[in-house]
Amino acid sequence: MKKIALITGATSGIGRATALKLAENGYDLILCGRRTEKLEELKQLLTTQVYTLAFDVRDRKEVESQLGKLPEEWKNIAVLVNSAGNAHGLSPIQTGDTDDWDAMMDGNVKGLLYVSRAIIPGMIERKKGHIINLSSVAGKQTYANGVVYCASKKAVEAISEGMRLDLTEQGIKVTNIAPGAVETEFSEVRFKGDKERAKKVYEGYEPLIAEDIADLIAYVVNVPERVTIADVTVYPKAQSAPSTIYRR
């Protein structure tokens, strides 16, 4: 039977790697992202069936209207991967940019909620489904200058716990994944395009790559139906806490 996974933030980083990996695993994919060209580019690389939806998870009306009008054959979503999310800025609270704060709280928290709210009722009807929320080690432990990013990921942790409490009796599994340092566009976005500064984040050690997290997601969705992997924290070998990285 056709298995469908919906991935947000599918145009880059962990979302994109997850799309490639789940397609390898035979999933048909609903790919969501802001950039139509990137979605189309990715679609060309995939051999399973793909439906693309361009919207910004922060836009509640768009999320509701786009996900509300999925064609019948794409409604049976088995796996939702909430991967959309970003860090914007790295500064102490007293100088934090409030636009950055809005972007993080609106995307990482409210966007994840809007998408989930649109998909969960169908899963409840089918008494089956699996939601994977991309949190971060920033959601486990707050670090200096990361106050709002960490707060947004602590919210993701709470949402994963709360979803599991509300949805277990509905036959839905919830997995929270908290990666440490993964080399993607993450730091470049955080530092607003400053490639040099972004590169430094990953210098002197071997960071995780997006494919490591995609492999983990493929593992988590492929375990027997009786098993729920509730929460996974993943560090690169050189990292022991959010701000503690052993650099050579």
- Give the residue numbers annotated as catalytic, written as ranges: 149
From the list 137, 216, 220, 221, which residue makes contact with ligand 8X3 (rule: CB under 6 A)?
A: 137
Q: How far is the CB of 5 from ligand 8X3 (least distance, A)?
A: 22
From the list 8, 116, 136, 152, which residue makes contact with ligand 8X3 (rule: CB under 6 A)?
A: 136
Query: Do 3 and 74 touch, CB atoms closer than 8 A?
Result: no
**Of 9-17, 101-109, 121-129, 130-138: span binding ligand 8X3 (CB under 6 A):** 130-138
- Integer Cα distance of 148 and 154 in angstroms: 10
Q: Based on CB atoms, which residue is closest to ligand 8X3, 39 or 177? A: 177
From the list 138, 172, 214, 245, which residue makes contact with ligand 8X3 (rule: CB under 6 A)?
A: 138
Q: How far is the CB of 180 from ligand 8X3 (least distance, A)?
A: 6
Q: How far is the CB of 199 from ligand 8X3 (least distance, A)?
A: 14
Q: Which of residues 81-110 bind ligand 8X3 (CB under 6 A)?
A: none
Q: Based on CB atoms, which residue is closest to ligand 8X3, 76 or 152? A: 152
Q: Based on CB atoms, which residue is closest to ligand 8X3, 15 or 242? A: 242
From the list 5, 42, 80, 181, which residue makes contact with ligand 8X3 (rule: CB under 6 A)?
A: 181
Cβ count near 129 (within 10 Å): 22
Q: How far is the CB of 13 from ligand 8X3 (least distance, A)?
A: 10
Q: Which residues are near ligand 8X3 by CB under 6 A?
A: 136-138, 180-181, 242
